[in-house]
Structure 1
Amino acid sequence: MTGPQTKNQTPNLASDIAALMDVSARLEAIAAADPVLAAVEFGEIIRNVPGRYAVLHCKYNGLDAILRLSTGSVDIGLDQTWEEMNRLWPHLRDGRLTMAEPLYYNAAQGALIVSRAEGQPLFALARQMPGPEALPMLCEAAQWLRHATRDSEADRAARPGPWRARAAKAAAKQPFADLRALEDEILVILEQLEKHISGQNWRVAIIHGDFHPDNLLRSARHLSGIDFGGSHRLPIYKDMARFLMHLGRRGLLPSGARWMGVDAALAQAFKTSFELSPFEAEILLPFFLGVEALLRVENRNLPDRRIRAARRMYEGLLSDLTALAGRL
């Protein structure tokens, strides 16, 4: 077994050293308990959340791989992640649309190993390209998500209330007064939409749970999904909204047209890939875009350009939601 290395130096050296020692101690413990893990070559730490988990590069049976390691007593959902990855793997192992392969899991030691997917994060690629070039690449994400969720889809009674409540709770933490004012108006319309949704059905599936452009890697051969730690059976519109709003609140509009605060053409790609009904496309997806916008609260450490982009997103979302409410 080889020990981990940190990827970058940071100003808080004492904290970095302490975190590295904690991860090293966990690696020694799992290697002592499991001969398979003892043979793994551990590389640099990609991410470390002290007291919860660490993610590292590693070599597993000679393959480039990623280790997700529990480092605390909090359940980080590895059992569910392993189960979901093995459910999806037969559907996403071949072809253009694929995923990281589940390789090894020791539940008792809190260690899960997957293959290292090739490619670069979709978000980084999109930022480097002119909008017309980035748009087809981003639209492929809708196809990936449809491919991943199709086999677990079902109709369920819609329960929009808890989602609106979560959005309201998150919005209360918004530190920027002008953004909070926009959010308050959005919440009023979400409450109106909730009344139209209650009593109806919506589609649910085992979704990715954190479906944003950094969790899709693109290469010449593949578009690969990674980081399935948030997979749950939820409304299918949640992952669509997460992806669209991640780009929209950062001002990435590759088509140049905005709808509900996000890129209009990219939203249409999700509507088309999932064959959304008029009710889904015109009520449910806007509802979840509003929820997702409010769940991700800006913070004062963000640069001014991010706050300006978020403001434009909120204004566009509110304008279109207001028009929608007027048609109901």
Structure 2
Amino acid sequence: MAADPALSDALTRRMQKYARESAAFAEFDAVVQSIPALSSLVLDDCLRLAEDRAVFSARLNDEPVVVKHFTGLDGIERAARVHAELTSRHKHMGQGPLRVCAPKLFIPDAPLTLRSFQGGARLDKVLAQADPATRLQKLRQAGQWLDLYTSDRRSAAGFGPWKWIKRLNAPPESPFAPLIGQLKAQLRAQAPDLTGKPVQMARTHGDFAALNLISKGSDLIGIDIENSHVLAVTKDLARFLAQAQSERQPDGNWVPVAERDALLDGFSYLTPFDRGPVMRFFYGVELGKRLLGSGATAAQTANLAAALQAYLSYGAQSQ
């Protein structure tokens, strides 16, 4: 009897995943062995693997924690920057309904960060199951979270759109190369009206997405605080919308209008220029960037491709 190809592929993927996780555990253990302060650390599970990092759930002195191991050549420096950002933001918003998780033990000269474990439900899962009114309320709260996160680190600067266009490069063999080519053409057409005009900037961690926020009752807690970057605030907001769009079929508009408005209304103030032309530009950038990424499922990829088609159709009609 012939083997089922689907089952064979699934088994192969599972074995490959197990091998990668085993290697990550071994690499992590080699680092920890030389750190006396982590002698009581017990790993529970591998939560995520990427090219430059591994994330584990663990217990330190019987307290649940999350450990991130940066495996790149700059791992020690990156861990220090991430810990500094989380420490800064925890001082700024460690209490109240909008907050970030608490940093834990910091070990200089080690490519590791430790933070508290945060119970609750990931916001992307909450949004997927919420009724329309609750979904909009949660999106507004997410805007409020980013508003507080950046409230003491904002400035205005002239906008430079061209670098974002240059970074959108699809391999010639990619099935999405024609779509990305159309997107870049539309972004180039938008760019002259954007260049040099003042936009709201902020130092933010640049990974603002529903999957990095935990909803617990009426509270919203950021859990994956990375190194900070000075970015246009609208880019972070557009990134959030693009990630959320990957979980849903587009509604026919170039952007889910009610969801965009709820997210933006949570933020204290953005000029009409930021809310309008700059948001349109960055939403296209983020759809294209996410479509070209390697982490999406087949369903997410289909949703993103359909959303980008809707975006391009709107752009063609408005020219």
Into which bin does the TM-score normalised by the smaller protein fall?
A: 0.7 to 0.9
Pick the aligned partner of 2:206 from 198, 205, 209: 209
Q: Does 2:231 correspond to 1:238? A: no
> Which amino acid is 2:287 matched to?
A
Instruction: Report the 3-state secondary structure (helix = DSSP H, G, I; strand = E; otherwise coil) of the residue aligned with 1:64.
Output: strand
Q: Does 2:220 correspond to 1:223? A: yes
Query: Equivalent residue for 1:314?
Result: 308
Please, which runs of 5 or more residues in structure 1 have no aligned partner? Answer: 1-8
Query: Aligned equivalents of 1:29 and 1:77: distance in 2?
Result: 16
Instruction: Check whether the contact 2:78–2:111 (CA below 8 A) recurs between aligned residues.
Output: no
Deviations 1:224-270 (A, max 9, x none): 112122531111111111110112233266xxx6643x321121123
Instruction: Check whether the contact 1:175–1:300 (CA below 8 A) recurs between aligned residues.
Output: no
Instruction: Report the 3-state secondary structure (helix = DSSP H, G, I; strand = E; otherwise coil) of the residue aligned with 2:110.
Output: coil
Q: CA deviation at 1:18?
A: 6.3
Query: Equivalent residue for 1:79?
Result: 80
Query: Aligned equivalents of 1:321 and 1:143: distance in 2?
Result: 30
Query: Equivalent residue for 2:260?
Result: 267
When residues 128 and 323 of structure 1 are mapped into structure 2, their CA distance, relative to the original with a 3 A threshold, is same
Query: Equivalent residue for 2:68?
Result: 68
Instruction: Check whether the contact 2:200–2:270 (CA below 8 A) recurs between aligned residues.
Output: no
Instruction: Check whether the contact 2:21–2:46 (CA below 8 A) recurs between aligned residues.
Output: no
Instruction: Check whether the contact 1:173–1:297 (CA below 8 A) recurs between aligned residues.
Output: no
Query: Equivalent residue for 2:174?
Result: 175
When residues 218 and 234 of structure 1 are mapped into structure 2, their CA distance, relative to the original with a 3 A threshold, is same
Deviations 1:23-42 (A, max 9, x none): 235325424x3221112232
Query: Equivalent residue for 1:26?
Result: 28
Q: CA deviation at 1:111?
A: 1.5
* 1:1-328 paired onto structure 2 within 5 Å: 11-13=13-15, 16-17=18-19, 19-31=21-33, 33-49=34-50, 52-75=52-75, 77-167=78-168, 169=169, 171-172=170-171, 175-176=174-175, 179-251=176-248, 259-260=253-254, 262-272=255-265, 273-298=267-292, 305-324=299-318, 326=319
Instruction: Check whether the contact 1:175–1:299 (CA below 8 A) recurs between aligned residues.
Output: no
Instruction: Check whether the contact 1:23–1:71 (CA below 8 A) recurs between aligned residues.
Output: no
Query: Aligned equivalents of 2:303 and 2:226: distance in 1?
Result: 29
* Most deviating of 312-321 and 240-249: 312-321
> Which amino acid is 2:206 matched to?
G
Q: CA deviation at 1:297?
A: 2.5
Instruction: Check whether the contact 2:206–2:229 (CA below 8 A) recurs between aligned residues.
Output: yes
Identity of aligned residues (%): 22
When residues 283 and 43 of structure 1 are mapped into structure 2, their CA distance, relative to the original with a 3 A threshold, is same
How many residue pairs align between the two structures?
Answer: 307
Instruction: Report the 3-state secondary structure (helix = DSSP H, G, I; strand = E; otherwise coil) of the residue aligned with 1:184.
Output: helix
Q: CA deviation at 1:163?
A: 0.8
Query: Aligned equivalents of 2:183 and 2:23: distance in 1?
Result: 46
With structure 2 as the length reference, what TM-score do the two structures score? 0.85
Query: Aligned equivalents of 2:214 and 2:48: distance in 1?
Result: 17
When residues 173 and 88 of structure 1 are mapped into structure 2, their CA distance, relative to the original with a 3 A threshold, is farther
Query: Aligned equivalents of 1:225 and 1:301: distance in 2?
Result: 21
Please, which runs of 5 or more residues in structure 2 have no aligned partner? Answer: 1-10
Instruction: Check whether the contact 1:164–1:191 (CA below 8 A) recurs between aligned residues.
Output: yes
CA RMSD of aligned residues (A): 2.7
Query: Aligned equivalents of 2:42 and 2:297: distance in 1?
Result: 39
> Which amino acid is 1:13 matched to?
M
Q: CA deviation at 1:299?
A: 7.5
Instruction: Report the 3-state secondary structure (helix = DSSP H, G, I; strand = E; otherwise coil) of the residue aligned with 1:106.
Output: coil
Query: Aligned equivalents of 1:281 and 1:239: distance in 2?
Result: 12
Instruction: Check whether the contact 1:66–1:116 (CA below 8 A) recurs between aligned residues.
Output: yes
With structure 1 as the length reference, what TM-score do the two structures score? 0.83
Deviations 1:65-122 (A, max 9, x none): 1011133535382222111111111222111111111112213121210001121111
Instruction: Check whether the contact 1:160–1:198 (CA below 8 A) recurs between aligned residues.
Output: yes
Query: Aligned equivalents of 2:163 and 2:16: distance in 1?
Result: 42
Query: Aligned equivalents of 2:262 and 2:173: distance in 1?
Result: 31
Q: CA deviation at 1:315?
A: 2.5
